[in-house]
Amino acid sequence: MRHWPSKIAFRTGLCAALCSTFLAMAVSAEQSADTPQAQADVLSIGGSVTEIIAALGQEHRLKARDTTSSYPPSVADLPDVGYMRALSPEGVLSVGPSLILTEEGAGPPEALDVIRAANVALVEVPDALSVAGILRKIEIVGETLGVPEHAAGLMAEVEADLVAALADAERPEDDKKRVLFVLSTQGGKINASGTGTAADALIRMAGGVNAVSDYEGYKQITDEAVGLAAPDVILMMDRGGDHGLADDELFAMPAVQLTPAAQTRSIVRMDGLLMLGFGPRTAQAVQMLNDALYAKGT
Amino acid sequence: MTVVSDIAVAPRDQLNHARALHWVLAVALGLACLVNLQVGATDVTLSSVLAKLAQGETLSQIERVVLFDIRLPRLAMGILVGAALAVSGAAMQGLFRNPLADPGIVGVGAGAGLGAILAIVLGALLPVWMIDRAGNHLVPFAAFLGGWGSTILLYRVSTRHGRTSVATMLLAGIALGALAGALSGILVYIADDRQLRDLTFWGLGSLAGASWAKVLSAAPLILLSLGTAMMLGRGLNGLALGEATAAHIGINVQRMKSVAILAVAGATGAAVAVSGGIGFIGIVVPHLLRLASGPDHRTLLLNSALLGATLLILADVIARVVIAPAELPIGIVTAVLGAPVFLWILLKRRGLVEL
């Protein structure tokens, strides 16, 4: 496998989201009726779901998490049941959850079947890259955990923050910067975000234009296409390894050299989960990216 | 091959030695099964469950699910897959008279990989009623069809006038592998991130998806293929003398070839379909046994089945406890443990590997 895709890059069809929303609503309605007790018995799978649980003040109920759950930092102390697409049924059961809250796309399906057979409630929280999608996630998590009033408060707060951040980030179409989201630069090849990704959604929300709109998802693109995309700014995830490639090396890459971003050495690095998680901190991410793009307050 | 004389007049004590090894390996397999059922991420153990059952107590739901729905099907699948891979490896090395042959040589691996990738990437494009019907079985089914189909294709390509050329099959297998690899590459390119992750994990292999349904769907084919392969011992011994000589001593070479190839395609195809790509068992196990008890296929095939099953279920124990509650893909464990051990043995016994 030439490239290693980001674990927190989510793309979902609207249809799938709708279907699972109804499913989750049915399950969550059933759940909230009989599990309001507050003991540590929840397994959270998916970075944004864990964030929402913590933001609802329910972190004490978490018993374990998955690899993608890295915020708040305190959850790092919880047992890690592995990557959400490759769960081991016995591993999941070994942490003894009575409720599993998971982001859309946990698996494999066989593992979920066994977990359901062990009478562990499993609620899937649908993912959607929009303000409404974030609010919906909070609502479902809140209902499932039996704290709808906390959820209502958090939703109002998050919505107000998002609306304000979006209004603040709004700019005339001809004044928007072109942003290239680079997922990785493995082997000297740029793997960039096309449309339909969390990165694409965030760039648009933060008042930028995705420099690549020819394809969906994350793909390696040729050096010439990078030049053609002419990004004003390069956006990357701020974490070790490949993503932490020093600026010098990045701007020395032939693909990048020709871009306006290289001339002005414009690069923005942000935490991956903050940027792509579409959880309670997305307003903050929008603001940060907008500030970084248009050099506000710095 | 210089081993010819060894096989033709296999030393009696070596044969007895290899037969004694049957029992040793059978006991080892039994012990490995107990370990496999005893250990896991949860603190459910076989001993505590047996103690409860002996006292007539009822099991808790978690004990029932962990032991009967998770560990037992996983154990059964591990035994089937380990035996299938090891026996297929032994049979292929004998048939091709090539120490590097593994089940993949008849195109099963490449074909199954292509099938799995097709199902993972393009499965979502199928009409909804088909997805509903196929459910979780889509990937295994596609992998099996891919593996089986590519073997049949290879067999047809290398058979002329009722005679199969092993050399042609070897070369055609390389070409077919390259083609399947390229097609897989195209699919990898259009896959999204989640599908890429699924592909990566599939390629590393795992017994984590084991279920009784999977065991039951793979068992008949694997058992039938293994049973057939067990009868090839004498024929493979003869073939080590060369095709012409084998024919002269009364072996129906062509029939044996087709039976061996079909058995291997069946066993490996089914194994790969339910567990993904688990490497190394097919190569290492037969060679270990040849070093330990000689190259006589009459004992090698059964010993391979026993040792392959034992090693795979022990590797599975490691895979699931070492980073519990998460779990390593088993292909990583077999390679990380198998490769150094194999290298060490080769160094120690330099120049002694023979077929």
Domains in chain B: how many in total?
1
- Binned at pLDDT 50, 70 and 90, residue A203 comes out as very high
Model pLDDT for residues A157-180, shown as the tens digit of each residue: 999 999 999 999 999 988 999 999
| Neighbour count for residue A265 (Cβ, 10 Å) | 11
Q: Please state the rounded mean pLDDT for residues B82-86.
A: 95
Return mean pLDDT, chain A. Answer: 84
User: Is residue B119 a part of any domain in this protein?
Assistant: yes
Residue B218 has pLDDT above 80, yes or no: yes
Q: Which residues of A touch B197 (CB under 8 A)?
A: 5, 7, 83, 85-86
Report cis status (omega within 30 of 0) of the bond before A72.
Answer: yes
Q: Please state the rounded mean pLDDT for residues A106-116.
A: 85
* Partners of A191 in the β-ladder: A184, A220
Return mean pLDDT, chain B. Answer: 85
b/e B207-244 (16+ beta carbons within 10 angstroms → b) = bbbbbebbbebbbebbbebbebbbebbebbbbbbbebe
Residues 93-112 of A with CB under 8 A from B: 93-96, 105, 107-111
Q: Answer whether CATH 3.40.50.970 is correct for domain A173-294.
A: no
Q: Please state the rounded mean pLDDT for residues A260-285.
A: 92
Residue B257 has pLDDT above 60, yes or no: yes
Residue A6 sits at the chain B interface (C-beta within 8 Å): yes
Q: Which residues of B touch A88 (CB under 8 A)?
A: 41, 208, 320, 325-327
Pick the residue from chain B with its C-alpha nearest to A86. Answer: B201
Residue A225 sits at the chain B interface (C-beta within 8 Å): no
Nearest CB to B62; choose among A5, A93, A113 = A93
Q: What's the full length of chain B, in residues?
A: 355
User: Is residue B354 a part of any domain in this protein?
Assistant: no
Q: Which residues of A touch B40 (CB under 8 A)?
A: 90, 94
- Domain A14-167 identical in fold to domain A173-294: yes
- Binned at pLDDT 50, 70 and 90, residue A72 comes out as very high
* Partners of A233 in the β-ladder: A179
Q: Which residues of A touch B326 (CB under 8 A)?
A: 67, 80-83, 88, 91
Residue A297 has pLDDT above 60, yes or no: no
In three-state form (DSSP H/G/I as H, E/B as E, the rest C), the secondary structure along B14-25 is HHHHHHHHHHHH
Q: Kindly determine whether residue B327 and residue A6, on different chains, have CB atoms separated by under 8 Å.
A: no
**Helix or strand or coil: residue B322?**
coil
- Binned at pLDDT 50, 70 and 90, residue B3 comes out as very low
DSSP secondary structure of A10-77: ----HHHHHHHHHHHHHHHHHHHHH----SS-EEEESHHHHHHHHHTT-GGGEEEE-TT---SGGGGG
Residue A6 pLDDT: 41
Q: Which residues of A touch B193 (CB under 8 A)?
A: 5-6, 9, 11, 217-218
Q: Which residues of A touch B320 (CB under 8 A)?
A: 88, 90-91
Nearest CB to A89; choose among B70, B135, B196 = B70
Residue B352 pLDDT: 57
Q: Please state the rounded mean pLDDT for residues B97-112.
A: 77
User: pTM of the entire structure?
Assistant: 0.78
Question: What CATH number is attached to the domain comprising B208?
Answer: 1.10.3470.10
- Binned at pLDDT 50, 70 and 90, residue B168 comes out as confident
Domain range for B141 is: 4-348
The region of weakest confidence among A51-65, A243-257, B299-313 is A243-257
Q: Kindly determine whether residue A113 and residue B136, on different chains, have CB atoms separated by under 8 Å.
A: yes
Q: Please state the rounded mean pLDDT for residues B26-40.
A: 94
B interface with A, Cβ–Cβ below 8 Å: 40-43, 61-62, 65-66, 69-71, 135-136, 188-189, 192-194, 196-201, 203, 206, 208-211, 214, 320, 323-327, 329
- Binned at pLDDT 50, 70 and 90, residue A3 comes out as very low
Nearest CB to A85; choose among B198, B203, B329 = B198
CATH architecture of A14-167: 3-Layer(aba) Sandwich (3.40)
User: Is residue B353 a part of any domain in this protein?
Assistant: no
Q: Tell me the nearest-neighbour CA distance from A169 into chain B, angstroms.
A: 29
Q: Which residues of A touch B65 (CB under 8 A)?
A: 93, 114, 117-118
Domain ranges of chain A: 14-167, 173-294
